Amino acid sequence: MSGKVWFVGAGPGDPDLLTVKGVRLLESAGAILYAGSLVDRAATYYAPAGCAIRDSRDMTLEEIVAWLIDAAHKHDNIVRLQTGDPGLYGALVEMTRPLDDQGIAWGVVPGVSSAFASAAAAGESLTLPEVTQTVILTRVAGRTPMPPGEDLEALAAHRCTLCIFLSITLLHEVQKALRTAGWPEDAPIVVVQKASWPGEEKIVRGTLANIKSLCQEQKIASQAMIIASPALGARDWETIARSKLYDPAFTHRFRRASSA
């Protein structure tokens, strides 16, 4: 018999943003393997006394899998604590395939993505009626290439909200792609570094023209989310289109339209 491995999304950094289920699993874990390069160690403070805790920042995929398999033979509950949500840039499939081969049960607890934590930190909405109703989560090609048709220029052509992960060191490539896709130089862009991290969060607001220089001034070169969206800054606009859900002239199953 072996224990169950849980892939728990730790969220963007603030331990308070862990889900209740994630905390309960940490509190009952016999072993925790956490991504120390990205997850604040405070997230492991929920671990019980005697829990085996390991930082995976210096481990290869093979070493991570071997550690999880070994832990599953010793403990009932094992937590692999990952940044954000395990299903987004989390190598989830690469880690679960060997567990399947060994007949080890596993499950996933979703977490708050840095895309949403960054929007929250900046006080922005990623969607806005009659402006954009689509959010694309993507990245710029680096050492990991992009599949055909998914280059940033092609995605930016939709002119919707772009949440761009893992690309702050390639901000010049982001600028180039957006310009080629027809975004104007004054298009608003927000960069949030370490969204929700207590005492470490940085928010930089700029435009396509100056966002790189502003980030350089703030020495932002890692762990940052880039948000480009036509909805940015909407709370300062003179007028915005109303949401139909809350419009008194709109009928839905819970409320009849009024004449007001």
- The pLDDT tens digits of the residues spanning 53-72 come to 999 999 999 999 999 999 99
The pair of three-digit structure tokens given for residue 22, joined into one six-digit string: 């994630």
Instruction: Give CA–CA dist 61/66, Å, rounded.
Output: 9
114-236 is a CATH 3.40.50.970 domain: no
- The pLDDT tens digits of the residues spanning 159-191 come to 999 999 999 999 999 999 999 999 999 999 999
**Domain limits, CATH 3.40.1010.10, in the chain:** 4-109
pTM of the prediction? 0.92
CATH topology of domain 4-109: Cobalt-precorrin-4 Transmethylase; domain 1 (3.40.1010)
Residue 260 above 60 pLDDT? no
Q: Residue 244's pLDDT is what?
A: 73
Average pLDDT over the chain reads 93
Q: How far is CA 94 from the centre of its chain?
A: 19
**Domain limits, CATH 3.30.950.10, in the chain:** 114-236
- The pLDDT tens digits of the residues spanning 185-244 come to 999 999 999 999 989 999 999 999 999 999 999 999 999 999 999 999 999 999 988 887
